[in-house]
Amino acid sequence: MSTSRLINGVEVASHYRDAEHQYLSNKEGIWLFMVTEILMFGGLFVGYIIFHTIYPEMFAEGASYLDWHLGFINTLVLIGSSLTMALGFYYNQIAQPKKATYALIATVLCGAVFMVIKYFEYMHKFHLGIFPGMMLDAAKMAEHGHPVVHSNLGLYFGFYFCMSGLHGLHVLIGMGLISWLTYRNIRGDFNPKYYTPIEGVGIFWHIVDLIWIFLFPLLYLVG
């Protein structure tokens, strides 16, 4: 299979000089991936800002359907999960894998809390007939006592569902990756000499938090 060899207790693939070379190359790859994340979400942010400038009243109408209390709780949950993720990394660096496992499990649970809150937010909107773009059900909204003022309100919710949905997808993928890390950590794969996957997934999880830090004021507060 692979032609890796053991150097100083660390599995090093054949195309790397040593463990440090492998570590630095892997991390550079993670940062390149982070650039694509910034550009992907950045495109949506740019679109949102431009259309917000063109239709400020319509965006204000859309934002009035969002409850900042839920966004606020979710912000606190994500910051907490970022801390536990950092601790999962830290405890492996100082050779306390058991504490690291608890920290990683706490991170997955925080992600789950975030998704549950998101689920209730989405379900409430679907109940009112709020869907993205052309799927927005104006008749159903009027039925629930929320007549549509701006006919192109669906555009706002197109942005809302795409941005928060793509972010939610990242939270789900992050939860999956951290569960995998937890399994590997319990198996004893990580130690102070080797923790690259935890650091890589950690950086991914922190960027999910970073994006939410901007999404929260953009969607819930500024509107």
Q: Which residues bind another protein (CB under 8 A)?
A: 7-8, 10, 17-20, 24, 27-28, 31-32, 34-39, 42-43, 45-46, 49-50, 53-54, 68, 72, 75-76, 79-80, 82-83, 85-87, 90, 93-94, 192-193, 199, 202-203, 206-207, 209-210, 213-214, 216-217, 221-222
User: What is the C-alpha end-to-end distance of the chain, expressed in Å?
Assistant: 54
Q: Amino acid letter at 46?
A: V
Nearer to another protein, 160 or 205 (CB): 205
Nearer to another protein, 29 or 147 (CB): 29
C-beta of 170: minimal distance to another protein in Å? 15
Nearer to another protein, 99 or 125 (CB): 99
For residue 133, CA distances in Å to 46, 86, 141, 162 come to 18, 38, 14, 10
Q: Which residues touch 36 (CB under 8 Å, ≥6 apart)?
A: none
Distance, in Å, from the CA atom of 222 to the CA atom of 53, rounded to the nearest integer, reads 12
C-beta of 145: minimal distance to another protein in Å? 25
Element (H, E) at 191: none
